[in-house]
Amino acid sequence: MPAPPSAADVVSVVLPVHDGADDLPACLDALLGQEGTDIQVVAVDDGSTDASGSILDSYAACRPALTVVHTENHGAGRARLTGLAHAQGSHIGFCDCGDRPAPNMYATLLGRAQEASADLVVCGFRRVDAADGRLLSEEMCGLGQGPCDIDEDPGILLAVNTAVWNKLYRAASLKDTGRVPVPPRVGEDVVFQLLAYPHVGRIACVAEPLYEYRVRPGSLMSDVGLADLDLLRLGLLEAKRLLAEGGGSEEMQALYDLVAFTHLGVSLPLRLEAAREMPLSQALGWARAVLERDFPRYSRSRFCSPGYVLGHRGRNLGLSGALLCQRLHLMLPLLGLLRQAAVRRWGIRYW
């Protein structure tokens, strides 16, 4: 009988599940059918009220690679942390139950991590309309193949999307991700990333789009309230505090403030308006006040300077433009244009 794989050869994939019965079997089949590497799937049933829990238990009864944990409903952020506590692999991935990883995704990412001695590997992904299967975009496919040492170029962190599902992490890099007592319900991924970044020394990329992110109407992306934003604000502040306590440089603290700007100042005001929580102009006023008070370094990062953008083939160009609009008090027309462009390009008002 062959020896069981060592932890160094195992990828643990954490799968939060809440009322995902319609999509769950296809997602489980994609994960448990991964080719070329040993997989442990840790599925956390986050208080589902549909058949998700029984689907997970039926799969686990005949698939030893699947570990199922049933909890009360606390949100995806807490579910991911619960799953991490049961993960046994040397590398950790994450998947959402409505999405689809490619059959070779985790073997490809693990091979790249080992080849490049990388703490974090990022791959491209496809954004697909779940209603009709229409391809909306391919993203994160142009970061380049060469590994990047964070000490040499921290600015790459701004070019990496903050979702956790198109990435593979060295398990040791996630040791601080549970330090925020109440993970935010919205934007939990960005807080998770910032807590991991101090332990990421090298990033490597895979240009191939290996993950299918399926966009749905009525998701949390368009269901946002001020209480959610305040939890996100507190989570971002805690990540920045831990960075400073750990000796993070002034430059890295400015980078964290700039990440706060991208979410509190650009993305979330649009979501507040989409949720009919408040007019866009009012949301932008709230965001500006919060940024100036809690994240004042956001406008001073060299990683959005013309010299950096030009010297890195346009990296962070969009963020640099958004900062310019913020300085000129032109965010309201900018976000109006972005919203219209999304409707024209994708034919939908959610993303």
CATH number at residue 42: 3.90.550.10
Same domain, 68 and 130: yes
> For residue 96, what are the domain limits?
8-215
Final residue belonging to a domain, choices 199, 215, 231: 215
Is residue 124's pLDDT more than 70? Answer: yes
Same domain, 278 and 144: no
Q: What is the pLDDT of residue 347?
A: 61
- Residue-wise pLDDT for 76-118, tens only, equals 999 999 999 999 999 999 999 999 999 999 999 999 999 999 9
Final residue belonging to a domain, choices 192, 215, 238: 215
In a domain, 300, yes or no: yes
Q: What is the pLDDT of residue 268?
A: 84
| Greatest alpha-carbon span in the chain | 68
Q: What is the pLDDT of residue 1?
A: 39
Q: What is the pLDDT of residue 242?
A: 93
Which residues are CB-contacts of 152 (< 8 A; sequence separation ≥ 6)? none
Same domain, 131 and 260: no
Q: What is the pLDDT of residue 349?
A: 53
In a domain, 171, yes or no: yes
Q: What is the mean pLDDT of residues 187-212?
A: 95
Q: Is 89 in contact with 11 (CB distance < 8 Å)?
A: yes
Q: What is the pLDDT of residue 186?
A: 83
Is residue 154's pLDDT more than 80? Answer: yes
Which residues are CB-contacts of 53 (< 8 A; sequence separation ≥ 6)? 45, 70
54 or 282, higher pLDDT: 54
Q: How many domains does the chain have?
A: 2
Q: What is the pLDDT of residue 132?
A: 87
H and E: helices and strands count for the chain: 13, 10
Is residue 220's pLDDT more than 80? Answer: no
Q: What is the pLDDT of residue 4?
A: 47
Q: What is the pLDDT of residue 230?
A: 87
Q: What is the mean pLDDT of residues 60-72?
A: 97
- Residue-wise pLDDT for 250-300, tens only, equals 999 999 999 999 999 998 888 887 777 788 899 899 899 999 999 999 998
From 74-78, 162-166, 226-230, 327-331, the region with the lowest mean pLDDT: 226-230
Same domain, 34 and 161: yes
Same domain, 194 and 232: no
**Residues of the chain above pLDDT 70, percent:** 93
CA dihedral 295, 228, 156, 288 (to 10 degrees): -40
Is residue 2's pLDDT more than 50? Answer: no
* pLDDT tier at 237, thresholds 50, 70, 90: very high
| Nearest one of 238, 276, 275 to 256, comparing CA atoms | 238
Is residue 218's pLDDT more than 90? Answer: no
Is residue 145's pLDDT more than 90? Answer: no
Share the mean pLDDT of the chain. 90
Residue appearing with tokens 């391809």:
135
Same domain, 196 and 287: no
For 91, the enclosing helix (H) or strand (E) is strand 91-94
Q: What is the pLDDT of residue 8?
A: 60
First-to-final CA distance of the chain: 49
pTM of the full structure: 0.92
How far apart, in whole angstroms, are the C-alpha atoms of residue 139 and residue 149? Answer: 22
In a domain, 1, yes or no: no
For 107, the enclosing helix (H) or strand (E) is helix 105-116
Q: What is the mean pLDDT of residues 148-158?
A: 94
Same domain, 184 and 237: no
